[in-house]
Amino acid sequence: MNHRQNQEGAEGRKTLRVFGEGTISATPDQVQMRLGVITQNESITIGQQENAEAIAAVIAAIQELNVQENQIQTVVYRIDPQYDYIEGVEVFRGYRIVHLLQITLDQVGIAGPVIDAAVNSGANSIASIQFTLEDPTTVYNQALAQAVDNARSKAATLARSLNVTLNPVPLEVKEVAKGLIPERYPTVLAAQTTPTPIQPGQLIYEVTIEVLFTYF
């Protein structure tokens, strides 16, 4: 139990400081994935054209699954010269073109089909998949209320042990930390003849508060 007790406040009041924790799990209702096309060619013009055609095919395939244009956003577009080093000599190998899209879905269940459609149409890079809550406010408030109850319970236990009377209204409440943490990472298997299985798992929202009570 993390706490401080038997302290004298700035105005001579006897204070007791405790930390309260709240943890709430929630099922994600949104998924963001980054995927795209990486091409390489000695000609920058041809390489860009190949990449543009491939990414256009990927976007078209994704949109066939009723993913709207405003759910698809380019987040990385980069052209990098590539070199080999042969006996200490730098030899130009070509240009590497990277075009990654961020796909935001409010239907978690179609994440697998979207990946399959993208890969089957030319995507060769899946950079990340992140499950989230579109609006975490409700979950956060539940975790916060749980943290307050936890802090009050700790303070009451300490007050009974010290044989003192706790003022139920805290003198100070301060949030120490909060975060939305994946309980387990999603599993992505290579697309084959069967749909790619995506496991969204559960999201864990944790809140820690520091509460200062007075007692007499």
Domains defined for the chain, CATH in brackets = 3-28+135-215 (3.30.110.170), 30-132 (3.30.70.2970)
Percent helix, percent strand, percent coil in the chain, to nearest 5: 30, 45, 25
Q: Is the pTM of this model over 0.75?
A: no
Cβ-contact 32, 208 below 8 angstroms? no
Give the amino acid at 172.
Answer: E
Where does the pLDDT of residue 1 fall: very low under 50, low under 70, confident under 90, or very high at 90 and above?
very low
Question: What whole-number distance in Å separates Cα of residue 156 and Cα of residue 76?
Answer: 53
Per-chain mean pLDDT for the chain = 87
Q: What is the pLDDT of residues 37-60, one digit of tens each?
A: 999 999 999 999 999 999 999 999
Q: For the segment 131-190, what is each residue's pLDDT rounded down to a tens digit?
A: 988 899 999 999 999 999 999 999 999 999 999 999 989 999 999 987 776 544 444 434
Q: How far is the C-alpha of 183 from the C-alpha of 180, rounded, in Å?
A: 9
